[in-house]
Structure 1
Amino acid sequence: MIEWATVRRLIGQLLKFGIVGVIAFLIDIGIMNLLIMGPHLNNVLAGAISFLISLVFNYLASMRYVFKHREDMARWMEMAVFLVSSVIGLGINEVILWMGTAMLPPDAITTMHARYLLYANIAKITATVVVAIWNFLIRKWLLDAPAPGKPVNPRSVAHRLGAWSLSHRPFGWH
């Protein structure tokens, strides 16, 4: 049986995730293009820098507007899960950016600048879609609190990870 309240909550969450994602994408692609056009950085390096800058916005906005903090998880674990999933997302981003321009000659950034920029942007859009799907799924699974009124599943990975994080501190911090 479909619970319409759950479906509505998921649709609302996807819309918020989309809005945050579009803003993060504009930050990401804007900075990447500035770095490619200005100092003529390689698209993979420019993409890594822009990804990391947009990641700060994405974390703050996602955890404020999209996902609800799990009461059964320490904030440090929330940040660690976000960081690890983002590092994997960065890896996916970099591979797709590299693949997008790998077939061009080594000096394409200077000799075929317009074509290089076009290919880099197509790769960036592709990477953004793939990484957005990855990010939503992993964050929904591990970071999002259960719907209001729904009990926490004590056997879920998210709950077990969260419960462990509440009784442990990173690096022995107090």
Structure 2
Amino acid sequence: MSVVDSVLERVPQAYRALALRHRELIKFGVVGAITFFIDTGIFYALKLTILSPKPVTSKVIAVLVATLVSYVLNREWSFRTRGGHRTHHEATLYFIISGIGVGLYSAPLWVSRYVLHLQTPFTSRLVEEVADFTAGQIVGLLLGMAFRWWAFRKWVFPTDHEDDESTREGALAR
């Protein structure tokens, strides 16, 4: 029994069916939470040290590292009952889609900094930090995550038999 299954057993009966139906989304969300902390840690480590004048570059590097971790976790856990592509084809699609995701994650920060000029000397350091966090870690994350969830299910980890009981039973056994 997986960790998610054991947690779902403790969910009140009224919500259990809903949680089981969206188990894949819950796993994707857990992976997203893990990689959020990786992304945030690397972003601020770079932004506040060696790449302080280049916050967008810091963000891109952070997202790339988090994406590598995300691929492994999503492939081996979130979407392990899906697929059908050879590993190299799957990985290629994953990283192409994630590359688009990097742009979506970074675009709000770029707009905040270079279009809205929410940076020093145009604003205070506090406003700059709040704007960077909001644009880069919240808005960018939501845009990128929504796109990646949709694209991964559609192209990277597709399945033609979502409602096939034997597929579900096999997934529950894993």
Instruction: Tell me if TM exceeds 0.5.
Output: yes
Quickly say closer, same or farther: Cα 1:113–1:148, change in 2 above 3 A: same
Aligned to 2:162: 147
Report the residue type matching 2:57 in the other structure: L
RMSD (CA atoms): 2.8
Report the residue type matching 2:63 in the other structure: F
Identity over aligned pairs, percent? 20
Quickly say closer, same or farther: Cα 1:134–1:120, change in 2 above 3 A: same
* Aligned with residue 49 of structure 2, among 34, 38, 48: 38
- Using structure 2 for the length normalisation, give the TM-score: 0.73
How many Å separate the matches in 2 of 1:144 and 1:66?
A: 13
Report the residue type matching 1:101 in the other structure: R
Quickly say closer, same or farther: Cα 1:64–1:90, change in 2 above 3 A: same
Higher RCO by CA contacts (8 Å cutoff, separation 6 or greater) = 1
Quickly say closer, same or farther: Cα 1:60–1:41, change in 2 above 3 A: farther
Q: CA deviation at 1:73?
A: 1.4
Aligned to 1:170: none
1:115 aligned onto 2:136: no
Deviation per CA, 1:86-144: give whole Å up to 9, x if none.
Answer: 011111122111012222277x28x8433222111100211001110001001111214
Q: CA deviation at 1:22?
A: 0.8
- Using structure 1 for the length normalisation, give the TM-score: 0.73
| Structure 1 unmatched runs, 5+ | 1-5, 152-174
Contact 1:69 1:144 in 2 (8 A): no
1:89 aligned onto 2:101: yes
Aligned length: 147
Deviation per CA, 1:41-98: give whole Å up to 9, x if none.
Answer: 4221110010001111100001111113656311111001101100111111221110
| Structure 2 unmatched runs, 5+ | 1-16, 167-174
State the SS of the aligned residue for 1:72.
coil
* Aligned with residue 35 of structure 2, among 2, 14, 24: 24
How many Å separate the matches in 2 of 1:14 and 1:105?
A: 34
